[in-house]
A and B are shown apart, each in its own frame.
Chain A
Amino acid sequence: MKIIVCIKQVPDTVDVKIDPKTGNLIREGLPVIINPDDKAGIEAALAIKEQTGATIQVVSMGPPQADVALREALAMGCDEAVLISAREFGGSDTYATSGIIAAAIRKLGMPEILITGRQAIDGDTAQVGPQIGEKLHIPQVSYVEEIQEVTADHLIVKRQFEDGYHIIKIKTPCLLTAIGELAKPRYMTVSGIVEAYNKEIKVLGFEELKDDLELDMIGTKGSPTNVYQSFPKQLKAPGTVLKDMSDDELVAAIMAKLEEKHVI
């Protein structure tokens, strides 16, 4: 059995700083991590590997520096790592990205199980997974919070909804999108880290994939959606802040505000 896990390297968004003048993200010194949902996906794949002896290929599309994320996945126990990287792919939106990743997966050979994270914390779109599934013509279950059974020809998984869950049987090959609850990622081992840095990361570029791409629908130019503008969030004007007053005075101030605004 083969499993492919798609991962993305993302900035740790808690620490994001915005340049107040330009409104752009200050990327300098920004820590990068494997996207949390993707990391849960890696862990779930490792659990299946331990159970069935499956091999795991981990795939990431991004700039050459994304190899750091791939090496971390290798150090956790994945078998092979593939970086999809080319200048032509830069600026791709989710439609374009999923087309490129789907082409890479066909090139690598279809797995029985394809896992992506539900969403990445930098974009939060949750679109790339299902769009890859569509382009590979395989069924999907998204928001997977538990994998209950794995056999050669089907899986049984638990799919989360806001108001409950479904237990779903799905035939392989299929796509699962992982949420954080699926698995708590293990740490890298020292020997794993050493091994990871000795392994070669396979690179798939434009030349390797071009025959299998919708060439007019990749990169900044071809992506169906384009950015019109981006701007830092404008927060509403702050009101009064009361301090150095007694608790009773503060409570009276709240009561006055509630009356003024007709909440009470």
Chain B
Amino acid sequence: MSKGIFIVVEQRDGKVQNVGLELIGEATRLKADLGDDVYAVLLGCGIEGEVNKLYHFGADKVILVDSDYLKNYVTEPYTKAVTEVVNKFDPEIMLFGASSIGRDLAPRVASRVKTGLVADTTGLRMAKTEQELQQEAAHGCKDPERALLMTRPAFGGNLLATLMCPRTKPQMATVRPGVMKKIDKDETRTGELIKLDVQFTPEDMNVEIIEAVKANKKMVDITEAKVLVSGGRGAGRDAYEMLRACADELGGEVSASRACVDDQACEWAKTEMQVGQTGKTVRPDLYLACGISGAIQHVAGMENSDLVIAINKNDTAPIFSVSDLGIVGDVKKILPKLTTALKKYNADKLV
């Protein structure tokens, strides 16, 4: 019988990526209903030092495949290793991060082991209600109480669809980074390490990496920021100083809408700063939307923020329908005033 919730943990340069820890967190929540162990599958070269971290964030067991073939991400060796994990352990559920690596690897694996795969999910739950169990059974599921329901945005975020994978195992999904929550780190937690020896051959390395380049600029990760001051077209092409000054007072970072990122003349807005369906999903404590209209594709990336405040001169801007506080006015006047007020507040707090 298929058993276990398996997380294929992404690592880059030997460092476990956040999305892997987020998925382990989600797996511990699914475990509460399903009862199965949480397995973290870690692939790479010289990465055993990362194993303990996976226990600390909730993994019961770690399957480690350590090989020279896995030093850089290459589709075939990674696919072969994950396929071997599937064949050997027969997982009930297998999850990948929906990054540019997970989205390359997961479809290859799903096709090879002949199972379904749901992309870019934002919600996962075990089937529970009468209707859910009955629908699973009606679609040929033999063990509906072990069935996973996977929710994802469709049609540019206008619709949500919940999917099931009733007849084949593992039930597989990729999950967007930033959507699930890590559990609190517990350094006393340990687990069981399973080292898996995969027999790679030179033919598996069916492409040659001539050069691997890291973006050398120091990249700010907007998904990690507690506060985001986000600029849209309405903030203007020269808005950076204004946004940055406010973000500094709030201890936050600057993010942007796609309109700014796509605008060549808007130099400050870099791809990695884009929030939204085709950008990043963020959930900061405060999202301050400055001159952003609130298109559905933008909202898809920020609606889970704890507190949303929007400044927009148009009182019917859709961003107001997802804001806790809407401010109708000119951002170019209001934001500098807000920064001044924050400066004063911060200075007063010091004395």
Contact = CB atoms under 8 A, between A and B. Distances in A.
B211 to A, nearest CB: 4
A210 interface: no
Contacts of A122: 154-156
A261 interface: yes
Main SS of chain A's interface residues?
mixed
Interface residues of A, number: 78
Interface string A39-72: 0000000000000000000000000000000000
Determine the interface band of chain B, counting residues with CB < 8 A from chain A. 35 or more
B213 A255 contact: no
Contacts of B165: 224-226
A95 B327 contact: no
A127 B165 CA distance: 16
Contacts of B75: 130, 139-142
A79 B285 CA distance: 54
A224 B325 contact: no
Contacts of B14: none
Contact of A233 (B157, B208, B214, B320): B157
B163 A94 contact: no
Interface in A210-256: 217, 223-233, 235-236, 238-245, 247-248, 250-255
Given A125-B119, A242-B328, A233 B158 contact: yes
A224 B167 contact: yes
Contact of B100 (A18, A143, A252, A254): A143
A160 B215 CA distance: 11
Main SS of chain B's interface residues?
mixed
Given A228-B162, A233-B153, A243-B315, A169 B207 contact: yes
Nearest to A157: B207
Contacts of A13: 155-156, 158, 297
Interface string B323-338: 1111111100110011
9 contacts: A16-B158, A130-B75, A168-B207, A228-B132, A240-B326, A241-B325, A243-B315, A243-B328, A252-B341
Contacts of A93: 116
Interface of A: 11, 13-14, 16, 18, 23, 25, 93-95, 98, 121-131, 133-135, 139-143, 156, 160-171, 217, 223-233, 235-236, 238-245, 247-248, 250-255, 257-258, 261, 263-264
A187 to B, nearest CB: 20
Nearest to B330: A247
Given A131-B107, A225-B165, A251-B341, A124 B159 contact: no
B189 interface: no
B345 interface: yes
Nearest to A96: B116
Contacts of A164: 212-215
B227 A263 contact: yes
Contacts of B211: 166-167
Nearest to A141: B207
Contacts of A25: 155, 158-159
Interface string B235-272: 00000000000000010000000000000000000001
A243 B314 CA distance: 10
A11 B159 CA distance: 14
Contacts of A133: 108
B99 A162 contact: yes
Please name the 5 residue pairs, one residue from A and one from B, whose CB atoms are nearest each other, closest first. Answer: A224-B116, A13-B156, A241-B326, A243-B328, A125-B119
B207 A240 contact: no
